[in-house]
């Protein structure tokens, strides 16, 4: 079984596998999104306290979850890459970052839009929102660092260390922000406190969570293929790829 | 051990020859502490409220300004490579450089803190806690900052990038450092905050030299 | 079905701006991301193809 895994650890073997897998994840993600949104927007009842505005949680909570899950996934690939010095691990870590950053941003955006009608302010220094903001900065830092370093392997490894240090610090940051928040008597409203979640609401939220997860995996698999192409462009198997040869023919036509 | 001491002495000697490095951090701290009251207004009640946060952020930014210089000079003239190749553990040598950095950029802030705190009309107890929190916190800032400095060694736009990388990681130190002073002012007692600050510093002292050394090796091998 | 009319659905009990602002940004950004990754792949293929061409036909005349 491990031999199978090690087989796919080479970019050359992983490239076609990712090519076969991403459409499946995309399809499953689309189906679950449709189901989740149907449940959330057309079946779940009106919330007793928050009216229809609560429906934002069907994208806000999944986005928050994913921003954290993806960061953990990045830390995992970073650890793998630094320990075993595998190229593909670094590429997977890089492939995940933009999607994670987008979900972190969406968590903040939808959080603000949820907060304005409920708490009266576009931004409140709620412990979770503040931690999410810091997580967003951690993502931006990773993307900035890996973009700034020209040497791909150095960028991967440096980013890997940053991702790991960040991941280890996230619980500390969350704890300290929570501490800070309670002492300052911040907004004591919580997203789900007050009304026990109706079954359908929870169901819709979980389905949307899974939908976003599948979407994230599809994006990462698709993106890592582009990274592999550029990184391995000097190796023969890339030149032999049909899509590369088609592009070469296309380029030749464009020249003549 | 002698290598550790030698590196500390060396860094201190070199820095004191180019005194402007020490002065920059100190000057920045002083300026920040003076500018905020000018921006906020002279009302002492307000100033006392905001003092812990402002002074701590000022110290944090001042410490961050000098991070880029931790490894850059040695990297430029090849000394860093020699350190990596030497039989001494790179982690120990890095720890020495971090200590030197703190002595030059952190300790002056600690010594100046009471003076700055007076500008905000802090009580004697609060001044004492402020100094203590900075004494415990600035080494933590140097330790965390070292990882960032090592990662961004020789990278384009290094200083700004370094700030972006390091600021999220500085948040716990800021929360507990400024929080300690606020707790003292409000009568709750700062012991919990200071203990947590000390604990974080201890953990960082163990892990950061190792992580920084690993980051330096990555930067050097390319 | 819990909505009495399409108008009710869009109004979201008065919270329309916030709910649709959230949904719009979420699915809009996700759609944008899909476009970005497609574009990145096209650029990657182009870069790889051009480099291989350049490596294998050094005597060829290139227009800029």
Closest residue, chain C, to A39 (C-alpha):
C1
**CA gap A176, B82 in Å, rounded:** 39
pLDDT (average), residues A131-140: 93
By Cβ distance, the residue of A63, A223, A250 closest to C40 is A223
The DSSP secondary-structure symbol of A80 reads H
CA–centroid distance for B204 within its chain: 13
Which residue of B218, B220, B221 to mutate against A (max A Cβ within 10 Å)? B218
Low-confidence ranges of chain B (pLDDT < 70): none
Chains in contact with chain A (at least 3 beta-carbon pairs closer than 8 A)? B, C
**CA gap B70, B92 in Å, rounded:** 15
Secondary structure of residue A51 in the 3-state scheme: strand
Question: Domain spans of chain B?
Answer: 2-221
- In this prediction, residue A116 carries a pLDDT of 85
Q: Which residues of A touch C (CB under 8 A)?
A: 41-46, 51-53, 55-56, 59-60, 63, 98-99, 102, 105-106, 109-110, 113-114, 116-117, 215, 219, 222-223, 225-227, 229-230, 233, 238-239, 243-244, 247-248, 250-252, 255
**pLDDT above 70 coverage of chain A, percent:** 93
Mean pLDDT across chain A: 88
**pLDDT above 90 coverage of chain B, percent:** 60
**CA gap B95, B5 in Å, rounded:** 10
By Cβ distance, the residue of B156, B172, B183 closest to A173 is B172
Q: Is B170 on the interface with A (CB under 8 A)?
A: no
Is A133's pLDDT higher than 50?
yes
**What is the torsional sign of CA A228, A229, A230, A234?**
positive
- In this prediction, residue A195 carries a pLDDT of 47
Give the tens place of pLDDT for each residue, A171-194. Answer: 888 888 888 876 554 444 455 554
Nearest alpha-carbon partner for A37 in A63, A64, A65, A56? A56
- Asked casually if ipTM beats, i.e. exceeds, 0.90, the reply is no
**Which residues does chain C have within 8 Å of residue A252's beta carbon, measured at their own beta carbons?**
53
**CA gap B100, B5 in Å, rounded:** 10
pTM: 0.88
Query: Are A52 and C26 in contact (CB < 8 Å)?
Result: no
**Tokens 């900035």 found at:** A144
Under 8 Å CB-to-CB from A93, ≥6 apart: which residues?
A74, A77, A78, A81, A156, A159, A160, A163
CB A219 within 8 A of CB A82: no
Is A242's pLDDT higher than 60?
yes
pLDDT (average), residues A214-228: 96
Closest residue, chain A, to B148 (C-alpha):
A162
Burial A95-130 (b: 16+ CB within 10 A, else e): bbbbbbbbbbbbbbbbbbbbbbbbeeeeebebbbbb
Give the tens place of pLDDT for each residue, B119-163. Answer: 898 999 999 999 999 999 999 999 999 999 999 998 888 889 999
Which residue of A220, A229, A240 to mutate against C (max C Cβ within 10 Å)? A229
Give the tens place of pLDDT for each residue, C22-48. Answer: 999 999 999 999 999 999 999 999 999
First and final C-alpha spacing in chain A? 50
> pLDDT band at C63, cuts 50/70/90?
low
Closest residue, chain A, to B158 (C-alpha):
A148
Distance from CA of A65 to the nearest CA of C (A): 14
Query: Are A162 and B179 in contact (CB < 8 Å)?
Result: no
- In this prediction, residue A194 carries a pLDDT of 45
pLDDT (average), residues A142-149: 94
Give the tens place of pLDDT for each residue, B83-97. Answer: 999 888 899 999 999
- In this prediction, residue A174 carries a pLDDT of 82
**Tokens 């895994």 found at:** A5
**CA gap B144, A173 in Å, rounded:** 13
pLDDT (average), residues A128-132: 87
Q: In this structure, what token pair is assigned to residue A125?
A: 């220094």
pLDDT (average), residues A12-19: 94
Question: Domain spans of chain A?
Answer: 18-255
Distance from CA of B169 to the nearest CA of A (A): 7
- In this prediction, residue A187 carries a pLDDT of 41
> pLDDT band at A201, cuts 50/70/90?
confident
Query: Are A244 and C49 in contact (CB < 8 Å)?
Result: yes
Closest residue, chain A, to B159 (C-alpha):
A145
The residue ranking higher by pLDDT, B20 or A97, is: A97
């Amino acid at each position: 079984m491990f031999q199978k895994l090690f087989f796919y650890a080479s970019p050359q073997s992983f490239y076609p596998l990712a090519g076969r897998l991403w459409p499946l994840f995309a399809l499953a993600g689309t189906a679950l999104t449709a189901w989740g949104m149907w449940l959330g927007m057309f079946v779940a009842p009106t919330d007793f306290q928050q009216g229809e505005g609560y429906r934002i949680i069907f994208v806000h909570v999944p986005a928050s979850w994913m921003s954290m899950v993806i960061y953990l996934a990045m830390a995992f690939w970073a650890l793998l890459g630094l320990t075993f010095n595998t190229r593909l691990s670094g590429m997977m870590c890089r492939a995940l970052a933009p999607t994670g950053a987008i979900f972190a941003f969406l968590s903040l955006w939808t959080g603000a839009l949820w907060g304005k009608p409920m708490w009266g302010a576009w931004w409140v220094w709620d412990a979770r929102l503040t931690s999410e903001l810091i997580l967003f900065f951690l993502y931006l830092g990773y993307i900035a660092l890996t973009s700034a370093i020209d040497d791909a392997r150095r960028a991967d490894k440096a980013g890997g260390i940053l991702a790991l240090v960040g991941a280890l610090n996230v619980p500390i940051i969350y704890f300290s922000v929570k501490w800070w928040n309670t002492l300052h008597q911040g907004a004591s409203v919580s997203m789900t406190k007050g009304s026990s979640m109706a079954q359908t609401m929870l169901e819709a939220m979980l389905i949307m969570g899974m939908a976003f997860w599948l979407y994230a995996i599809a994006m990462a698999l698709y993106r890592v293929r582009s990274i592999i192409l550029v990184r391995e462009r000097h190796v023969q198997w890339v030149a032999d790829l049909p899509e590369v040869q088609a592009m070469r023919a296309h380029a030749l036509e464009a020249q003549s | 051990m002698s290598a550790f001491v030698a590196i500390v002495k060396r860094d201190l000697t070199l820095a004191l020859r180019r005194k402007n490095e020490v002065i920059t951090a100190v000057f920045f701290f002083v300026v920040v502490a003076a500018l905020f009251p000018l921006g906020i207004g002279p009302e002492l009640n307000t100033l006392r409220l905001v003092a812990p946060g402002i002074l701590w952020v000022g110290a944090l930014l001042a410490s961050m300004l000098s991070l880029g210089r931790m490894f850059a000079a040695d990297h430029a003239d090849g000394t860093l490579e020699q350190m990596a190749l030497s039989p001494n553990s790179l982690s120990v040598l890095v720890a020495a450089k971090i200590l030197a950095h703190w002595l030059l950029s952190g300790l002056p802030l600690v010594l100046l803190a009471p003076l700055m705190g007076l500008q905000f009309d802090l009580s004697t107890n609060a001044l004492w806690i402020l100094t203590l929190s900075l004494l415990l916190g600035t080494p933590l800032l140097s330790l965390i900052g070292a990882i960032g400095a090592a990662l961004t060694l020789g990278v384009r736009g290094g200083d700004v990038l370094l700030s972006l990388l390091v600021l999220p990681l500085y948040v716990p130190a800021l929360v507990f450092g400024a929080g300690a002073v606020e707790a003292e002012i409000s009568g709750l007692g700062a012991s919990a905050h200071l203990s947590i600050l000390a604990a974080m510093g201890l953990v960082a002292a163990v892990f950061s030299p190792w992580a920084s050394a690993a980051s330096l090796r990555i930067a050097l091998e390319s | 079905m819990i909505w009495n009319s399409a108008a009710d659905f869009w109004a979201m009990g008065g919270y329309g701006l916030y709910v649709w602002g959230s949904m719009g940004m979420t699915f809009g950004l996700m759609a944008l991301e899909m476009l970005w990754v497609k574009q990145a792949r096209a650029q990657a293929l182009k870069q790889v193809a051009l480099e291989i061409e350049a490596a294998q036909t050094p005597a060829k005349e290139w227009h800029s």
